Chain A
Amino acid sequence: MMECSLKKTLSSAKGTMSLEVEFSIEEGSLLCIYGKSGAGKTSLLRLLAGLMRAEEGFIRVNGQTWLDHRQGVCWPPQERPLGFVFQDYALFPNMSVRENLEFAKTKKTEAGLVDELIELMELGDLQHRRPTGLSGGQQQRVALARALVQRPPLLLLDEPLSALDLQMRRRLQDHLLQVHRAYGLTTLLVSHDLSEILRMADQVMELEAGKIIRQGDPRSLFGPATSPDHLQLHAHIVRVQEGEKQWKLEIFCENRLLEINLPPEKARQFQKGDEVLLAWHASEAVVHKIP
């Protein structure tokens, strides 16, 4: 169980913004932090990791107080037991993949854990290579493995999947879910991809200009009232073409472009770039057997 309440003034190119959040997260759950860029998502993770210092507030994790401004407690990042996967992965270029993992070891690290993680993340063939030559997906796996070497109870991920293509992203989401469950982690994942959130999150929290504007179960937040016989896909609008009787919406979904015709009164609400959910009733679905 993690509870925190944090306040920090952030300055950016657009001026100053006050980050004020208060939330708790159950042990073993996966919380997605969602929001536009500049909403304070990365700063929130940095505050939790101790890479940035909050002006006011507290952080309590499983009975330990990491931060309490009233008592003058503030643990440095070195002492907070957590794993952090940076947006740019932050792999050490002077070390091979295996050495990156070995570097994370402490006296308490069980023998064989590095090998176990190398196998789990499918890094066996890459273990003696330098990170500079690896693809984004490979680097991401190394970063995730390295963050887990100390077996932290809490894992923070700062948009680790955003730079990857759709297929790779899917595979890594599976990897991530697998380790999240296997190691009993409490995970905080920054993401601005709705399909990712719907696929992975137990809880979601939306930030806007430093404040939590929505919080809860992802399906109740982002999906329409659903029943099990509804099929839903996350998509976004590429183009809205006006016509006389019918407007044509070009929708990008599951790596394909679809065209959907709607009457003007329904289509008018959509704009290019909108994120949408495509929903079908299962009774209209066509089912084919793959020979």
Chain B
Amino acid sequence: MVNWQPLILTFQLAALTTLLLLFIGTPIAYWLAHSRSRIKPVLEALISMPLVLPPTVLGFYLLIAFSPSGAFGQWLDEQLGLQLVFSFPGIVLGSMIYSLPFMVYPIQAGFARLSPSLREAAYVLGKSRRTTFFKILLPNVKASLLSAIVLTFAHTIGEFGVVLMIGGNIPGQTKVASIAIYDEVESLQYGAAHTYSLVLFAITFAILLIVYWVNGQHVKSWER
């Protein structure tokens, strides 16, 4: 009998990470698209780090930072009752850092592609910055938002190193599908490994297919 728990946990992790990143990533993307600040390159470099750094490096530092024997980990535990090492909240936080560029960059590119006169036209019509953002800018980067959401979701499903380092392998807590596959292969349970792999393969392919299909339709409907 196949244990579905790792797969369910994987999708819970991916969904929560994507949702939280959408709220954090959109303002960052908007700021990056319009800012001429001197610290912008620094921020861009930091956000891009997970693209090039081995996930184990990120996981290692997070492990040290959140370890209950360290000062910060102790403070989190005492003040907020938050244990980030070997726990579900910990792997959510790790995934958020790891997937941040996949949320930020598509949205940033979307905002940067919009003509600046759209924003200015709304201002001249007396609309506030807030109204302009929600009624004009955000609806016009819909396609970018969709790609960002899907990329983040899919990327989080495929995550392995960060989760393993900071979360370990606790069933129901941190044992996501990618780790379960590794675990099954280690103990020569190829049948179970096949099941997990195939399900991940099929579901991620289906998600991406739907998105590209919808995106194509969307573009057409605007050109009509």
A positions within 8 Å CB-CB of B: 49, 51, 76-80, 82-84, 86-88, 90, 92-94, 103-104, 106, 129-130, 132-133, 146, 149-150
Whether the Cβ atoms of A51 and B124 lie closer than 8 Å is yes
Whether the Cβ atoms of A88 and B117 lie closer than 8 Å is yes
A-B contact pairs, 14 of them (CB 8 A): A49-B124, A51-B120, A76-B123, A77-B120, A77-B124, A78-B126, A84-B120, A84-B124, A87-B117, A90-B117, A92-B121, A103-B135, A130-B222, A146-B125
Residue B118 lies at the interface, judged by CB distance under 8 Å to chain A: yes
Contacts of B81 in A (CB 8 A): none
Contacts of B136 in A (CB 8 A): 92, 94
Residue B37 lies at the interface, judged by CB distance under 8 Å to chain A: no
Q: Measured between C-beta atoms, what is the minimum distance from A243 to chain B in Å?
A: 49
Known A78-B126, A78-B127, A106-B126: A86·B139 in contact at CB below 8 Å: no
Contacts of A79 in B (CB 8 A): 126
Whether the Cβ atoms of A86 and B121 lie closer than 8 Å is yes
Q: Please count how many residues in chain B sit with their CB below 8 Å of the partner chain's CB atoms.
A: 20
Whether the Cβ atoms of A93 and B140 lie closer than 8 Å is yes
Contacts of B117 in A (CB 8 A): 86-88, 90
The answer, among A76, A77, A130, A149, for a CB contact under 8 Å with B224, is A130
Q: Measured between C-beta atoms, what is the minimum distance from A225 to chain B in Å?
A: 41
Whether the Cβ atoms of B118 and A92 lie closer than 8 Å is yes
Whether the Cβ atoms of A90 and B223 lie closer than 8 Å is no
Consensus secondary structure, chain B interface: helix
**Chain B CB within 10 A, most for which of A82, A88, A94:** A94
Q: Measured between C-beta atoms, what is the minimum distance from B34 to chain A in Å?
A: 14
Residue B69 lies at the interface, judged by CB distance under 8 Å to chain A: no
Shortest 6 CB-CB contacts between residues of A and residues of B: A90-B121, A90-B117, A94-B139, A77-B123, A86-B117, A84-B124
A-B pairs with CB below 8 Å: how many?
59
Contacts of B115 in A (CB 8 A): 88, 90
Contacts of A146 in B (CB 8 A): 125
Interface string of B114-156 (1 = CB under 8 A from A): 0101101111111110000001100110100000000000000
Whether the Cβ atoms of A94 and B124 lie closer than 8 Å is no
Whether the Cβ atoms of B126 and A90 lie closer than 8 Å is no
Q: Measured between C-beta atoms, what is the minimum distance from A114 to chain B in Å?
A: 13
Contacts of A129 in B (CB 8 A): 224
Q: Measured between C-beta atoms, what is the minimum distance from B76 to chain A in Å?
A: 42
Q: Which residue of A lies closest to B142 (CB)?
A: A94
The CA of A132 and the CA of B220, in the complex, are separated in Å by 11
Contacts of A77 in B (CB 8 A): 120, 123-124
The CA of A216 and the CA of B122, in the complex, are separated in Å by 33
Whether the Cβ atoms of B140 and A51 lie closer than 8 Å is no
Contacts of A104 in B (CB 8 A): 125
The CA of A92 and the CA of B140, in the complex, are separated in Å by 8
The CA of A51 and the CA of B122, in the complex, are separated in Å by 11
Whether the Cβ atoms of B123 and A150 lie closer than 8 Å is no
Whether the Cβ atoms of B123 and A90 lie closer than 8 Å is no
Contacts of A130 in B (CB 8 A): 222, 224
Q: Measured between C-beta atoms, what is the minimum distance from B221 to chain A in Å?
A: 8
The CA of A161 and the CA of B117, in the complex, are separated in Å by 17
**Chain A CB within 10 A, most for which of B121, B122, B128, B136:** B121
The CA of A169 and the CA of B40, in the complex, are separated in Å by 44
Known A51-B120, A88-B117, A90-B118: A150·B224 in contact at CB below 8 Å: no
The answer, among A51, A87, A103, for a CB contact under 8 Å with B123, is A51
The CA of A244 and the CA of B224, in the complex, are separated in Å by 58
The CA of A79 and the CA of B124, in the complex, are separated in Å by 8
Q: Measured between C-beta atoms, what is the minimum distance from A42 to chain B in Å?
A: 11
The CA of A163 and the CA of B18, in the complex, are separated in Å by 43
Q: Which residue of A lies closest to B224 (CB)?
A: A133
The CA of A133 and the CA of B128, in the complex, are separated in Å by 28
Q: Measured between C-beta atoms, what is the minimum distance from A50 to chain B in Å?
A: 8
Contacts of B139 in A (CB 8 A): 94
The CA of A80 and the CA of B125, in the complex, are separated in Å by 9
Q: Measured between C-beta atoms, what is the minimum distance from B205 to chain A in Å?
A: 30
The CA of A115 and the CA of B122, in the complex, are separated in Å by 21
Whether the Cβ atoms of B121 and A78 lie closer than 8 Å is no
The CA of A76 and the CA of B139, in the complex, are separated in Å by 24
